[in-house]
Amino acid sequence: MSTSRTVLVASDLDRTLIYSAAALGLTMPDADAPRLLCVEVYESKPLSYVTETAAGLLDEVGRATVFVPTTTRTREQYGRIHLPGPAPKFAICANGGHLLVDGVSDPEWRADVGRRLAAECASLDEVRAHMVRTADPAWLLKERVAEDLFAYLVVERSLLPEGWVKELAEWAQGRGWTVSLQGRKIYAVPKPLTKSAAVREVARRIDADEILAAGDSLLDADLLLAADRSWRPGHGELADTGWTAPGLTVLPERGVAAGEEILRGFLRHGRGSLRHGSANG
């Protein structure tokens, strides 16, 4: 009788598995730095990387589990990323707003998300207007709306006043929204728009026996809580606040080295029980 199990691996991408040049965190002498593989090009320039070792681990994870990239990126932004290994059957974009199946957004899922947002939180227009009105042009570089679901600002971090993000978060809290500062971006995301809800839907569809997850930001907290086992790197919003949860492994590694350790954790934990021939194959 087979004892194989279906393991779902849901991982954040930016600053969890893939890293921009500024986020690599290469602290060793140049001669000792790992070889890097570019996994994203933007405006004809390399943008995001994994180590060569992480590329091999990603391929293993993709073949041994149902690997689900789980990102706040829009579908267009996610489409620029080319991860090593088999093309994932499922992917989650826009912080759970879009559930991609073989690269195509599931219309029923998107409609359900829209109904929940309309019923449970303030409108995108209200929140966006408040963000733009209270931001100072001295440090606001860009303001964007993503997939008609949430808003974010691109800022000059060195000029961002201390306390501004906290004040925005307190204002948004009462309107059913969450605020997250990631690098140069300040996100405002509706509370019902979660990665965990979309991951649970994938788990239901594939009848997953176990969920493993990883992430570094406040927007990943619900994802990590929804998993049976989870990992977070030694950098990011969650690390800065000392965030922890049952089943969470807190890694000391920072930067691209943390990405390697997260992938090793996925493989170590499930080795011997991971289902081969998964839905990613």
Q: What is the pLDDT of residues 238-276, one digit of tens each?
A: 999 999 999 999 999 999 999 999 999 999 986 654 443
The 10s digit of each residue's pLDDT in 152-170 is 999 999 999 999 999 999 9
Helices then strands, each counted (H, E), the chain: 9, 15
Mean pLDDT of the region 167-176? 97
Using pLDDT thresholds of 50, 70 and 90, give the confidence band for residue 280: very low
End-to-end CA distance of the chain: 23
Question: In the numeric block, which tokens belong to residue 150?
Answer: 């949430």
Q: Which residues 6+ apart lie within 8 Å of 54 measured at CB?
A: 17, 37, 256, 259, 260, 263
Query: What pLDDT score does 279 carry?
Result: 44
Answer whether 12's CB lies under 8 Å from 226's CB.
Answer: no
Distance CA 113, CA 94 (A): 11
pLDDT of residue 269: 85
- pLDDT tens across 9-68, in order? 999 999 999 999 999 999 999 999 999 999 999 999 999 999 999 999 999 999 999 999
The residues that bridge with 67 in the sheet, in sequence order, are: 9
Nearest Cα neighbor of 236 from 255, 223, 222, 249 is 255
Burial of 201 (0-12, 13-18, 19+ CB in 10 A): middle
Q: Using a pLDDT cut of 90, give the percent of the chain over it.
A: 93
pLDDT at 3: 57
**The pLDDT of residue 85:** 95
pLDDT of residue 271: 63
Q: What is the mean pLDDT of the chain?
A: 94
Q: Which amino acid, residue 53? A: T
Q: How far apart are CA 91 and CA 66, in angstroms?
A: 10
Is 109 in contact with 94 (CB distance < 8 Å)? Answer: no
98: pLDDT strictly greater than 90: yes
The pLDDT assigned to 183 comes to 85
Indicate whether 182 pLDDT > 90: no
Q: 95: closest CA among 66, 119, 124? A: 124
pLDDT band at residue 93 under the 50/70/90 scheme: very high
Tell me the whole-structure pTM to 2 decimals.
0.91
pLDDT value at residue 278? 42
Q: Decide if pLDDT at 121 tops 70.
A: yes
